[in-house]
Amino acid sequence: MTKRSQLRLVSQVPIEGFDEALREKLQPRQNILLLGSPFSGKTTLAIQFLASGLKSGERGIFVTTKDTPDGIRAKAEAFGWNLREYEGRGELRYIDCYSQVVGLPSEESPEVFRAGISEEHFERISLIISSIISDSWREGGKVRLAFDSLSTLFYYSDLISIARFLHILLGRLKAVNATSLFILESGMHDEQVITVMRSLCDGVLQLSSDGENRYIQGILSAGALSRLRVEMSKQGLRAAIPQTHRSR
């Protein structure tokens, strides 16, 4: 293997089921916006993104604004991803921004931090994330963060406040070489919101569904991802690579 090939393998961000499709296009230290229509598989891909990093020895943070940590665990278990084993080793943390808003009982624990969704909670969310990633960075570990979903923030805050919060947070993530995935719902925001969110991130992936099939495409800093069909399997989402596109 050449030195150039080795560098490409090192720079790659593994996502099980998408390695061949993304190859070196998805780089570490990138903040990626994931756009997706309803039922296109956004949350599944976010969990898959974290699970693949955990399997590779990275740390994970899941910020949830639309489900409980137990709900995330259950979705992961449906695809054979046991997140609890990583929680037990301190390698996976949740920031639960959902339970408090809907009035569900939820106590903080070593693996779950609680916060709200409105603007007054943005600083707490940012400080919790900064503390987790700083500890991992000092220990020499890589970190992945999934945020599901930014769209919920718009129910409680305005675009300028959210953009300011993200501008600071994304800078902190990049400073410690973290890789992140931020979900934004397609079809519920105007063009200004989409443009601002895209401008804050380093690349965009988009999941879509026509009712029968799912697709993924995107523009990343290291290259464009042409539209590919995505299959849902027992092991999660899988990019269906046409035979003519497979590497020889």
| Residue 38 belongs to domain with CATH number | 3.40.50.300
In the predicted model, is pLDDT for residue 177 greater than 70?
Answer: yes
Mean pLDDT of the region 186-208: 97
How many angstroms separate the Cα of 184 from the Cα of each of 5, 38, 189, 195? 34, 11, 9, 12
Percent of residues, the chain, with pLDDT higher than 70? 93
Can you tell me the mean pLDDT for 211-226? 91
Residues 156 and 162: their CA atoms lie apart, in Å, by 10
pLDDT > 50? residue 4: no
Q: Is residue 237 scored above 90 in pLDDT?
A: yes
The pLDDT score that the predictor gives to residue 248 is: 41
The verdict on residue 215 lying in a domain is no
pLDDT band for position 7 (50/70/90)? Answer: very low
pLDDT the model gives residue 246: 52
Average pLDDT, the chain: 90
Burial of 243 (0-12, 13-18, 19+ CB in 10 A): exposed
Predicted confidence at residue 13, as pLDDT, reads 79
Q: Report which secondary-structure segment, H or E, holds 228.
A: strand 223-233
Tokens matching residue 139: 């220990």
Instruction: For residue 20, tell me if it sits in a domain.
Output: no
Mean pLDDT of 143-164: 97
Of residues 4 and 199, the one with the higher pLDDT is 199
Range of the domain at 54: 27-206
Average pLDDT (121-126) is: 96
- pLDDT at residue 121, rounded to an integer: 96
Residue 138 lies in a domain: yes
Q: Residue 157 falls within a domain, yes or no?
A: yes
Mean pLDDT (whole number) for 51-75: 96
Q: How many separate domains does the chain show?
A: 1
- Within 154-218, where are the H helices? 159-175, 191-200
- The answer to whether residue 132 sits within a structural domain is yes
Specify the pTM: 0.91
